[in-house]
């Protein structure tokens, strides 16, 4: 069988990659046709064609198909409201998540399987004197709206200071949208010449990239990529992240990539699409363990800030508290 798609990056990781790997485990995968740069993710397939030099946010145009005519088992990332019923014999809280008014991220996992990329890509090349945490940021337009979900400069400054004081090296990632095929949101970001910079007391107007230079133990991912010209951007990411101690990421594709490594991953959730009814838990506090974040990575740690209000108001207290509880440094 041939799998042929070019959706958004995060959607490919959640809906396409696990299906392709499942087909591989069944001896049914013949070929993968995907976007340029994606071959390392499909290491298990002998015939990978990197055909597409663009992605699309239009699922109907991406090769996923639709509910009536799907090309992959799951063609909408938030799943079907009926999917919870699939687990009624193995999940005691399934019924609580079967009465939602919209999909809550529960997929049909019968033809869905992911390898552990930490095991596959673990190596001796990308190591440092100290354990390292990856902080993955984004700064993109989203469906016609200027950037909303991102770690601002003041939060990054606090994150960098805490982690480096605790004895970690930090790898900071924020793509410039020149590293891979773009979807419409990323194209809009480039068109509007968006730059992440702020005025910080004592530092003046500074960008996130500039901020990394003020810390001895904070390394920009771009610099590591430039030092490894024999590897593609995604090859560097996969090999580097496989050796990480843990991750902090803004929700969306950046965090979904981190989930492939199945390590402690704090994911910052901010918008309505990630906070659908019962996406994370029900009114009684029962966790929706069947949503795709947990299915990818049982070690994911959600932090919810609806509409990114706390981030934009520089109210980082609770978020920093979660980071401190999760990454305690050398004992």
The dihedral sign for the CA sequence 132, 126, 41, 36? positive
Q: Which pair of tokens denotes residue 318?
A: 């609770």
Q: Is 297 among the domain residues?
A: no
Q: Is 84 among the domain residues?
A: yes
Alpha-carbon distance of 286 to 283, in angstroms, equals 7
Per-residue pLDDT of the chain (331 residues; tens, 9 = 90+): 999 999 999 999 999 999 999 999 999 999 999 999 999 999 999 999 999 998 998 888 899 998 778 999 999 999 988 899 999 999 999 999 988 877 899 999 999 999 999 999 999 999 999 999 999 999 887 877 878 889 999 999 999 999 999 999 999 999 887 777 776 777 778 777 788 999 888 888 999 999 999 999 999 999 999 999 999 999 999 999 999 999 999 988 889 999 999 999 999 998 755 566 789 998 899 999 999 999 999 999 999 998 899 999 999 999 999 999 999 986 4
Looking at the structure, tell me whether residues 132 and 29 fall in a common domain.
no
Which domain range does residue 45 map to?
Answer: 2-116
Q: Is 230 among the domain residues?
A: yes
Alpha-carbon distance of 55 to 292, in angstroms, equals 21
Q: How many residues does the chain have?
A: 331
Looking at the structure, tell me whether residues 67 and 202 fall in a common domain.
no
- pTM for the whole structure: 0.94
Looking at the structure, tell me whether residues 312 and 202 fall in a common domain.
yes
Q: Is 280 among the domain residues?
A: no
Q: Is 289 among the domain residues?
A: no
Q: How many domains does the chain fold into?
A: 2
Parallel/antiparallel/unpaired status of strands 2-4 and 218-220:
unpaired
DSSP state, residue 247? E
């Amino acid at each position: 069988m041939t799998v042929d798609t070019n959706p958004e990056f995060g959607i490919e990781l959640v809906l396409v990659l696990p299906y392709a790997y499942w087909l591989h485990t069944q001896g049914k995968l013949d070929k993968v046709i995907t976007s340029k740069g994606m071959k390392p993710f499909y290491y298990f397939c002998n015939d990978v064609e990197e055909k597409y030099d663009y992605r699309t946010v239009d699922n109907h145009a991406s090769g996923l198909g639709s509910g009536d005519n799907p090309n992959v088992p799951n063609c909408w990332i938030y799943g079907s409201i009926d999917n919870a019923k699939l687990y009624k014999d193995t999940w005691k809280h399934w019924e609580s998540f079967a009465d939602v008014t919209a999909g809550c991220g529960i997929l049909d996992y019968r033809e869905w399987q992911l390898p552990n990329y930490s095991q596959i890509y673990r190596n001796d090349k990308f190591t440092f004197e100290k354990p390292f945490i990856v902080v993955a940021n984004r700064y993109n337009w989203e469906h016609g709206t200027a950037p909303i979900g991102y770690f601002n400069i003041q939060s990054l400054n606090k994150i960098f200071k805490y982690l480096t004081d605790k004895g970690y090296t930090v790898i900071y990632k924020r793509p410039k949208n020149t590293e891979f095929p773009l979807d419409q949101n990323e194209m809009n970001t480039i068109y509007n010449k968006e730059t992440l910079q702020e005025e910080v007391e004592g530092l003046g107007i500074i960008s996130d990239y500039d901020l990394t230079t003020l810390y001895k133990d904070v390394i920009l991912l771009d610099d590591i990529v430039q030092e490894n010209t024999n590897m593609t951007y995604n090859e560097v990411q996969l090999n580097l992240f496989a050796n990480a101690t843990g991750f902090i990421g803004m929700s969306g594709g950046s965090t979904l990539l981190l989930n492939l490594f199945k390590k402690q991953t704090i994911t910052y959730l901010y918008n309505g699409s990630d906070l659908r009814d019962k996406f994370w838990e029900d009114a009684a506090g029962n966790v929706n363990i069947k949503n795709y974040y947990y299915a990818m990575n049982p070690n994911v740690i959600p932090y919810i800030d609806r509409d990114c209000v706390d981030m934009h108001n520089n109210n980082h207290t609770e978020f920093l508290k979660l980071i401190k509880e999760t990454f305690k440094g050398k004992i």
